[in-house]
Amino acid sequence: MIIDCHGHYTTAPKALEDWRNRQIAGLKDPAAAPQASELAISDDDLRASIEVNQLARMKERGSDLTIFSPRASFMAHHIGDFRASATWAAICNELCYRVSRLFPEHFIGAAMLPQSPGVDPRTCIPELERCVRDYGFVAINLNPDPSGGHWKEPPLSDRHWYPIYEKMVEHDIPAMIHVSTSCNACFHTTGAHYLNADTTAFMQCLTADLFKDFPTLRFVIPHGGGAVPYHWGRFRGLAQELKKPLLKDHLLHNIYFDTCVYHQPGIDLLTKVIPVDNVLFASEMIGAVRGIDPDTGFHYDDTRRYIEAAALSADDRYKIYEGNARRVYPRLNATLKARGQ
Amino acid sequence: MIIDCHGHYTTAPKALEDWRNRQIAGLKDPAAAPQASELAISDDDLRASIEVNQLARMKERGSDLTIFSPRASFMAHHIGDFRASATWAAICNELCYRVSRLFPEHFIGAAMLPQSPGVDPRTCIPELERCVRDYGFVAINLNPDPSGGHWKEPPLSDRHWYPIYEKMVEHDIPAMIHVSTSCNACFHTTGAHYLNADTTAFMQCLTADLFKDFPTLRFVIPHGGGAVPYHWGRFRGLAQELKKPLLKDHLLHNIYFDTCVYHQPGIDLLTKVIPVDNVLFASEMIGAVRGIDPDTGFHYDDTRRYIEAAALSADDRYKIYEGNARRVYPRLNATLKARGQ
């Protein structure tokens, strides 16, 4: 089985975006604000948005199951207040849940949280628990910068975030550390802000002892870990200067990297430098980079091709495709086992 | 000849830091503010700070000439106002100049600019010109985020920066795009802010057409280009989505990456992915990562070993060590030629 741990609902019906635009307009003009119930998307709409997109590509490329969460760039936690984020997160998560019900073999949910800049993350817990208990979601996406490129919250190692971590541990779910749209003109969303956030999150963990407080907490750092594997020597050396343990002991029981790196040399480096137990297959397909690479004739985000071509044993490839995901996402594993998979 | 294009005066005599601390204290209590003339560092002090440090390592590792600029993390442009930065930059640049006079075969200067958040970069021109004309400096360091991790200036493609670029073109000097200390708790200075800035700067150039306005402008992006070479497929794909030319045409006549990547797999990726004409030897030695790698028994920042071990032809290695630097830093080349080198 091939599990893609990083998929977003980037192809949701246009009605979703229209509703969001009305919600945003309603922040200034409450009379324009829509009710959640005004959003009408039928099961047929959902099927149509998935069948010719993610599902078609999954079949074409040979992946079986995607851990599916709301579109990352649309989370936009910097817009409005907690109430706006709460309504928006509930709507987006419900759509992912419905997709997972329509295609239970192929999609399982990961929750967007109703984060809002400066608001206690504790406020996200009801939505988190609803997604786990009612929707069978197996993970969350945690945004370390709900301000959208202004980086005003404390680092991930701060007690500020502990209420979320306590719930993650209680429900045995990992978090993908994933920012949303940048509203800072310095940072292009998918070309700078996403990668910077990945690097930043890793370094926030490196300088702290978060995983002493939460030995079973698990973070998935997407986009191949930002700059981290490429600069693995730098990070090993910084840990050494800071008198931290070796990275494999200090962080690699808790931090995992996905394979959203869109060319062969990048995947070769990732799989060479990072222990195979810490690498999870992912594509973020129909995401930031949708085109076809003229050098290969295949989609940039068809990451399975790179994994196939990398110097890996069959056992290593199994871990990256399936084994590690079953370990990092125990609720996913339990769901699969209940189905006899 | 081996030219290291990225060295900072990280080993300056303690008197420099003491003076700076008094200057900072003087921002709140003007009576405590020191005069520039109160800083007394003798030539013997300078020699002692260099001979057993950078120069000893250069001889040990076999590099000949370092492009030498004030300590990056001490620039701290976010502290005080333009006047404070102007005095501080003048002092730091003068020390680098004196080092270059004491060891002319081994050091040549690159200028720190007296940037200050929210202040027109035009104010940096007198110091820039002084360094080029009076000190024979061959480059500048340009900080895209003088706020120190809050990213409040416009992107590098904005006309805000054009007065600096006009002077760079006039004097035929490149800029290394280098931030300073982060005062944002989210970003570790050398483990996150530096690498993020490198990625950010590249993407700011990718989304714009800056080099149409300045076809001869040259940027050196340090630390191996941040996350860029590792994600080269992503950046090629983003350029494609944005209908920009191929990166080699769009950016690689103007952007260069240094080799401050502190392990073999990173250098292997850099030299495989980025055209050899765009890679400049550098170590940033006695910098962010000063330790010895237990995996190799050599200093992490002894980057020459990685270049020697990389799959490169003698001609490629010549370009990385010397040829490219002579082309990217024409004033360096002219200085060497005047000496018969």
State the ipTM, two decimals. Answer: 0.98
**Residue B236: per-residue pLDDT:** 98
- Determine how many CB atoms are found less than 10 A away from the CB of residue B329: 25
Q: From A102, A113, A212, A197, select the one nearest A155 (Cα to Cα).
A: A197
Q: Could you tell me the CA-to-CA distances from A192 to A247, A281, A302, B56, B151 in Å, in that order?
A: 25, 22, 21, 38, 13
Q: Chain B: give the shortest CA distance to residue A309, in Å.
A: 16
- pLDDT (tens digit, 9 = 90+) per residue, B41-62? 999 999 999 999 999 999 999 9
Confidence of residue B220 (pLDDT cuts 50, 70, 90): very high
Output the pLDDT for position A312.
98
**Beta-bridge mates of residue A279:** A257
Strand (E) or helix (H) holding B258: strand B255-258
DSSP, collapsed to helix, strand or coil, labels residue B9 as strand
Banded pLDDT at A12 (limits 50, 70, 90) = very high
- A161 at the B interface (CB within 8 A)? no
Q: Closest Cα to residue B270, out of B230, B243, B318, B328?
A: B230
Dmax (CA) of chain A? 60
pLDDT at A102: 98
Q: What is the pLDDT of residues B2-35, one digit of tens each?
A: 999 999 999 999 999 999 999 999 999 999 899 9
- Chain B contact present for A244, CB below 8 A: no
* DSSP assignments along A90-101, one per residue: HHHHHHHHHHHH
What is the structure's pLDDT at B66? Answer: 98
Residues on chain A touching B266 (C-beta within 8 angstroms): 230-233, 269
Cβ B228 vs Cβ A195: under 8 Å: no
Q: pLDDT value at position B262?
A: 98
Helix axes B14-28, B82-102, angle to 10 degrees: 170
Query: Which residue of chain B comes nearest to A153, CA vs CA?
Result: B186
Q: What percent of chain A has pLDDT over 70?
A: 100
Which residues of chain B does A149 touch, with a Cβ-Cβ cutoff of 8 Å? 151
Look-up: residue for tokens 């987006």? A92
Please count the other Cβ atoms lying within 10 Å of the Cβ belonging to residue B24: 16
- Across the range A246-266, mean pLDDT stands at 98
What part of B 105-134 touches A (C-beta under 8 Å)? none
As a whole number, the mean pLDDT across chain A is 98
Verify whether the Cβ–Cβ distance A192 to B185 is below 8 Å.
no
d(C-alpha A189, C-alpha B128), whole Å: 33
Q: Quote the tokens at residue A124.
A: 């996200």
- Exposed / middle / buried, residue B64 (Cβ in 10 Å: 0-12, 13-18, 19+): middle
Q: How confident is the model at residue B280 (pLDDT cuts 50, 70, 90)?
A: very high
Average pLDDT, chain B: 98
Of B155, B191, B234, the CB nearest to A235: B191
pLDDT of amino acid B17: 98
Buried b (16+ CB within 10 A) or exposed e, A184-195: bebbbbbbbbbb
For residues B169 and A205, the answer to whether their CB atoms sit within 8 Å is no
CA distance B130 to B132: 6
Pairing assessment for the beta strands A175-177 and B175-177 based on DSSP bridges: unpaired
Mutate to test the interface with A, among B263, B267, B272, B293 (most CBs of A within 10 A): B263
CB atoms < 10 A from the CB of B291, how many?
Answer: 15
Chain A residues within an 8 Å CB radius of B264: 233
Residue of B143, B131, B172, B126 whose CA lies nearest to B328: B172
User: What are the angstrom distances between the C-alpha of A254 and each of A174, A210, A215, A266, A278?
Assistant: 9, 10, 7, 22, 9
pTM of the model: 0.98
CA neighbor of A39 nearest in space, from A1, A94, A101: A94
CA dist., res. A62 & res. A59, Å (int): 5
Neighbours of A212 (CB within 10 A): 8
Nearest to A153 by CA among A166, A142, A140, A165: A142
* B319: confidence class by pLDDT, cuts 50, 70, 90: very high
Q: What is the mean pLDDT of residues A98-123?
A: 98
Q: What is d(CA A71, CA A57) in angstroms, rounded to the nearest whole number?
A: 17
The helix (run of H) or strand (run of E) holding residue B250 is: helix B247-250
AA identity, residue B283:
S
pLDDT tens, position by position, B81-95? 999 999 999 999 999
- How close A229 gets to chain B, by Cα (Å)? 8
pLDDT tens by residue, A55-103: 999 999 999 999 999 999 999 999 999 999 999 999 999 999 999 999 9
